[in-house]
Amino acid sequence: MTTVPSLEVSGLAYAYPDGHQALFGVDLAVARGERVALLGPNGAGKTTLVLHLNGILGGGLGRVSVAGLPVEKRNLAEVRRRVGIVFQDPDDQLFMPTVREDVAFGPAAAGLRGAELAACVEKALARVGMAGFADRPPHHLSFGQRRRVAVATVLAMEPEILVLDEPSSNLDPASRRELADVLRSLDVTVLMVTHDLPYALELCERSVVLSEGVIAADGPTRDLLCDEDLMRAHRLELPFGFDPRTARPAGPVRPEAGARGTAGR
């Protein structure tokens, strides 16, 4: 029996009201449990694509579905539970007096109460290594700790897909490693939007390059990063001294979630 992909995007095209065409027919499928990096220069259409995944943007051409559920008006409540977006700045996501209240906010709004809600919060915080911080004010935490709490607020909703917007930005090396350990441990599909190419290689066996509103390449992350012509053509640059051919590969994903694209087209 074929497993329904976590995400299917077919022929997605979108123009903003001012006439700017951001997407020109994007096709993308992400298998359950897969970790995929979405790469591309500024202005490539990455944010526009992400905002279609939970129906914030819509009305263009094409189709988006999450675990087989079409992203359309009648399904938005469930789609937004299934697609959890973690913002680049955790302070945009944390607004309650304590960590516990922040993580509880979504499930409580969905109707959870009492012991069930408390267990949900404890589980989400444990998954990100923040179980001992439930009663702390978020603004008393380090930036890296706040980012992990932001991830917990999304995990508390048991999403199908975890979408991460520049997850490694502004993190010190220890916080970067701690977040990577958390992401590797999660049993959830991950779409990671990033300019941090070494982090993409560390965490995602597959990467997709979005450039000028189309998928320019889709394949194993290491292969894409080693393709100098591809990298140069789409304004992707590796840090000085970083060699993707010798760097440690991404951790394994479950067998049904193998990368499937083709590099370059």
For 11-52, how does the pLDDT look when each residue is reduced to its tens digit (9 = 90+)? 999 999 999 999 999 999 999 999 999 999 999 999 999 999
DSSP state at residue 218: E
CB 127 within 8 A of CB 182: yes
Q: What is the pLDDT of residue 218?
A: 98
pLDDT confidence band for 247 (50 / 70 / 90): confident
Residue-averaged pLDDT of the chain: 92
Token pair for 85: 């977006």
How confident is the model at residue 254, as a pLDDT?
44
The answer to whether 252 touches 35, Cβ cutoff 8 Å, is no
* Rounded Cα gap, residues 84 and 93, in angstroms: 12
**Mean pLDDT on 60-74:** 95
Question: Is pLDDT at 97 greater than 60 in this prediction?
Answer: yes
Q: What is the pLDDT of residue 170?
A: 94
Crossing angle of helices 114-127 and 143-155, rounded to 10°? 130
Please write the tens of the pLDDT for every residue from 155-202: 999 999 999 999 999 999 999 999 999 999 999 999 999 999 999 999
* Alpha-carbon gap, residue 238 to 240, rounded angstroms: 6
Taking phi over 0 as left and psi of -120 to 50 as alpha, with beta for the rest, 241 belongs to: left
Residue 139: half-sphere exposure toward Cβ, Cα within 13 Å? 4
**Res. 59: pLDDT tops 70:** yes
Residues in the chain: 265
- Rounded to whole angstroms, the Cα distance separating 133 from 218 reads 39
In the chain, what are the domains? 7-87+161-257 (3.40.50.300)
